[in-house]
Amino acid sequence: MKRLFVILAVVATAIVATAQSSSHNYITVVAEPNHADWTYKVGETAEFTAYAIKENARMAGVEISYSYGPDKLEAVYTGKVKTDKNGVARFKVPGMKVPGFTSVRVKVNYEGYAYSSMTNIAFDPYGIKPTTTMPDDFKEFWDNAMAKAAQVPMDVIIRHNDSESNARVDVYYVRIQSYRKGNYVYGVLTVPKTEGRKPAILRLPGAAVRTFHGPNELAYDGYVVLEIGVHGIPVDQDEEIYRQLEGGALSGYTQQGIDNRDTYYYKRSILGCVRAIDYLCSRDDVDPSRIATYGGSQGGMLSIMTAALDSRVKALFAYFPAFCELAGYYNGRAGGWPHMFRDKNEPNIKARIQVSRYYDTVNFARMLRVPGFYAWGFNDPACCPTSTFSAYNVITAPKQLHVGRDTGHWLYKWQLDKAHAWLKEQLGVK
């Protein structure tokens, strides 16, 4: 039973389409844009066909409420249309005046239940420019932090896990000292039982306080895989411990220490990712010239950050990265997860925004020099497309983006399959 829970937890961190299709609403409400790619020129009017499907048939004579407004912000217009005898209704959405995304929402009330959906349409998404700017001493700040952290001995403790190892891979739990004495990175290491030096992947976690288990499935493709946590706590404890931390000391961890760039929570986390690369490069079974970072959401952000800071990383896979455009809301448009600075009356907000510039994924994306594979969707409510395109558009390194337009905070299997094939090519895995 524990093994089943682990498999489900892993799938949930990179949610694929099959997980989304396991349950259905009685009525599905659709807002179908007249451009199949959901993309328009700035100023171009979008036309929508709206309908509600019940038991595989369009519903005639049903009232559909609709609204539209900028991505993640309040609607600027609401209206109602009624479907004709063929079960369809139509309405128009005016084009945005600048590159960005408009959220179009439709809703049907039927027999006491509400059914709704959202469609985010794009207006020149590759023209979106970030509002954040890079501090003049950004690189100096991080170079100094890494140099100081590099002086701390790794002091590695590694423990083989017999129950999770098998005929193809060995699984270990590791503790690596990082950042300063007494501060540690904890993770699960999966090593293929093959001869010679192998490529390695640093697998970075989405936002949560949780346990990790092996083996990591990526190891079956021939990678040494190190999957780490970011909280400096062991990753092999009972689930109840993580729930207590999540509701207690680590509640709202994304805001902890935000008043100072040296005390902000993620400084330790980011340096811990670099220390994890140190450890992989120290292993005799790892080829240090073939290392990649991999992660989604918070893990996507850390994948970009680590690859930007550490030249030993040769490729990265980041899907719907978080922490893009942290001050977006303050500047009148959508910001990425964790949706900071929505309240302009927040105490010390201007100083906190200054700190956020040292941790905004956009500014790390500006520094990338290695190939990257990126994936997300237009309908992501957490790491919204206005924010992720803001980061993608500043990348000058080789890059490719694979969009599943109707995906939310999850990926289709084809996106993952393409990413894995790309990683094999980049790291020379046959």
Task: Name the band, by pLDDT with cuts 50, 70 and 90, for residue 8.
Answer: very low
- Helix (H) / strand (E) element for 65: namely strand 63-70
Mean pLDDT of 65-93: 98
Per-residue confidence (pLDDT) for residue 199, from 0 to 100: 98
How is residue 58 written in tokens? 């369009």
CATH code of the domain made up of 27-126: 2.60.40.1930
**Whether the predicted pLDDT of 12 surpasses 70:** no
**Per-residue pLDDT tens for 180-238?**
999 999 999 999 999 999 999 999 999 999 999 999 999 999 999 999 999 999 999 99
Q: How many CB atoms lie within 10 A of CB 213?
A: 21
**Distance in angstroms (rounded) separating the CA atoms of residues 159 and 243:** 25
Per-residue confidence (pLDDT) for residue 3, from 0 to 100: 41
Per-residue confidence (pLDDT) for residue 25, from 0 to 100: 87
Question: Is the dihedral angle over the CA atoms 302, 305, 310, 316 positive or is it negative?
Answer: positive
CATH superfamily, domain at 138-427: Alpha/Beta hydrolase fold, catalytic domain (3.40.50.1820)
**Distance in angstroms (rounded) separating the CA atoms of residues 288 and 290:** 5
Mean pLDDT of 265-282: 98
Per-residue confidence (pLDDT) for residue 23, from 0 to 100: 54
**Per-residue pLDDT tens for 234-251?**
999 999 999 999 999 999
Per-residue confidence (pLDDT) for residue 21, from 0 to 100: 40
Q: What is the DSSP string of 356-402?
A: HTTT-HHHHHTT--S-EEEEE-TT-SSS-HHHHHHHHTT--SSEEEE
Domain boundaries, the chain: 27-126, 138-427
Between residues 16 and 375, which one has the greater pLDDT?
A: 375
Q: How many CB atoms lie within 10 A of CB 84?
A: 13
* Average pLDDT in the chain: 94
Q: Which residues are catalytic?
A: 297, 380, 409
- Helix (H) / strand (E) element for 182: namely none
Task: Name the band, by pLDDT with cuts 50, 70 and 90, for residue 430.
Answer: confident
Q: By C-alpha distance, which of 409, 362, 299, 352 is closest to 129?
A: 362
Task: Name the band, by pLDDT with cuts 50, 70 and 90, for residue 16.
Answer: very low
Task: Name the band, by pLDDT with cuts 50, 70 and 90, for residue 298.
Answer: very high
Between residues 421 and 1, which one has the greater pLDDT?
A: 421
CB 296 within 8 A of CB 409: no
Task: Name the band, by pLDDT with cuts 50, 70 and 90, for residue 164.
Answer: very high
Q: By C-alpha distance, which of 149, 135, 129, 179 is closest to 367?
A: 135
Q: By C-alpha distance, which of 200, 349, 213, 212 is closest to 284?
A: 200
Contacts of 259 by beta carbon, 8 Å cutoff, 6+ apart:
348, 351, 352, 355
Per-residue confidence (pLDDT) for residue 249, from 0 to 100: 96
Alpha-carbon Rg for the chain in angstroms: 23
Name the H helices within 136-258: 138-150, 239-247
Residue 242: φ, ψ to 5°: -70, -35
**Per-residue pLDDT tens for 349-365?**
999 999 999 999 999 99
- Poorest-confidence range of 3-7, 123-127, 231-235? 3-7
Global model pTM greater than 0.75: yes
